[in-house]
């Protein structure tokens, strides 16, 4: 058993060395999908998403639940999202989606966050 552990340890060390050497030779790996530039408005929107309990219906990543649609697949553009938040559809209001007024400091961050979900989301 001890011998086996030793052998496994050596193997792991060998693999690590090989992958390290490999990483040095290769050009810097490109992240895929490309890492988005961190946008403070989006980060703020994500915080407001949770503060307004949007995730209770739309899911923590906007993926949708039985109660509300997937926001990553929305067809709305920024202006339309802003309008929807100020005046949710009768259906959304009937289930309890909050209204974000035009002068709310949450409006623009939330729009930016929903748009970021859409960009990251599945393509039609
Ligand atoms: C109580 C549940 C509930 C909560 C909380 C909620 N929503 Fe919704 N939302 C819905 C429902 C249901 C719909 C679908 C309405 C329809 O299709 O008519 C919807 C639709 C939307 C849409 C339109 C999507 C599209 O493609 O048509 C957006 C954008 C949206 N919600 C954003 C938000 C944001 C941002 C919050 C937090 C401020 C939020 N929602 C909170 C239930 C909710």
Residue-wise pLDDT for 60-95, tens only, equals 999 999 999 999 999 999 999 999 999 999 999 999
Go through the domains of the chain in sequence order and give each one's CATH number: 40-120 (1.10.760.10)
Instruction: Please tell me the distance between residue 69's alpha carbon and the centre of ligand 1 in angstroms.
Output: 7
Instruction: Please tell me the distance between residue 36's alpha carbon and the centre of ligand 1 in angstroms.
Output: 25
Q: What is the pTM of this model?
A: 0.77
The answer on pLDDT for 118 being more than 60 is yes
CA distance 32 to 27: 15
Whether ligand 1 lies within 6 angstroms of the CB of 64 is answered as: no
pLDDT for position 99: 98
CA distance 105 to 123: 30
The tens digit of pLDDT for each residue in 29-68 reads 666 766 656 799 999 999 999 999 999 999 999 999 999 9
CA distance 15 to 9: 10
Pocket residue to mutate for ligand 1, from 54, 66, 90, 106, most atoms within 8 A of Cβ: 54
């Amino acid at each position: 058993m001890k011998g086996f552990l030793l052998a496994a340890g050596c193997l792991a060390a060998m693999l690590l060395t090989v992958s390290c050497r490999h990483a040095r030779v290769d050009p810097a790996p490109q992240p895929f999908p490309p890492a988005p530039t961190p946008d403070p408005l989006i980060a703020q929107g994500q915080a407001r998403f949770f503060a307004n309990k949007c995730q209770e219906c739309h899911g923590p990543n906007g993926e949708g639940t039985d109660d509300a649609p997937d926001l990553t697949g929305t067809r709305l553009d920024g202006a339309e999202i802003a309008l929807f938040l100020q005046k949710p559809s009768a259906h959304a209001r009937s289930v309890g989606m909050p209204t974000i007024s035009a002068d709310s400091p949450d409006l623009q961050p939330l729009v930016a966050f929903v748009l970021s979900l859409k960009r990251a989301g599945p393509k039609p």
